[in-house]
Amino acid sequence: MQYKGFFELLRAGNCTMAGFAAVIGAGIAYVPVSDEISFYGISLVFACVFLITGAGNSINDFFDADIDAINKPTRPIPSGRVSNDAALYFSLVLFGIGIVLSGFLGLICFVVAVINSTLLILYASSLKRTVLTGNVCVGYLTGSTFLFGGALFGISGITRTAGLLGLSMLATVAREITKDIEDTRGDMAMGANTLPIRIGRKSAGHVASAVGVVAVLVSPLPYFTGFSSWYLLVVGFADICFLAAILRLSRGDAAGSSRLFKQAMTIALVAFMAGAWM
């Protein structure tokens, strides 16, 4: 049945994870003494992120149809289960519904939804093939799910989640560059134009390490925006993971470094939750 192809385009598991990240962002931004939180608002936050993430996944498959015909012939478009036009219209409908729903959450959420939708389209169509810009775009989009949840509470919510956006973005950029280092041979065979291909694996490793160092240096800053001392305690473990990832990368273990960057971001998320709720 064709609807199964659309469901596969959506990548529901990925969308669900993004939606929960936004809900966590709202939870971190929530301050009981000054804010009100409702199931309606949280549900809309989840729905908006779910739909816009699904739209981004779908339009990514639309632009990658020719590549997927070679590398992933069982995907919905190259397998013929969903036509190119149907995938495009499906994506645009999801973007439209997600953006319209975001308007019920306030102006800031609406603006973030429009910006992110535009970036998802640009990334799928061109930015993913550019040196470093694509990595930065992925980093922002990953971190902005938390920001969107925080935006439910206006400027104060943006302030509470800005640090998580920053750390998530830095960790993701470092990890994306590290993954590019790991995949250099395959990317060269495909004619890709990644940072390691452009400046060399060693120099790209230096860039990823520098991004990781910046993450460590700025990690204490959210404490000064109102998070408890629990944040500093837990984020210290994230910093250890960042430094271990940098060390692994310097030894040529890109795969191990990538895993540690991901673990560092997970611990940093726990730090924000501990700082906000304990």
Statement: residue 33 has pLDDT above 70:
no
- Rounded to 5°, the CA angle 175-180-183 comes to 125
- The pLDDT, as a whole number, for residue 189 is 65
Which numeric CATH code is attached to 2-277?
Answer: 1.10.357.140
Domain ranges of the chain: 2-277
This prediction has a pTM of 0.86
- Give the pLDDT confidence score for residue 226 in this predicted structure: 80
Q: Using an 8 Å Cβ cutoff, are 54 and 10 in contact?
A: yes
Instruction: Compute the average pLDDT of residues 67-73.
Output: 71
| Residue bearing the bigger pLDDT, 6 or 210 | 210
Nearest-angstrom CA–CA distance, 81 and 62: 13
For residues 234-251, give the mean pLDDT: 92
pLDDT at residue 275 tops 50: yes
More confident residue, 69 or 208: 208
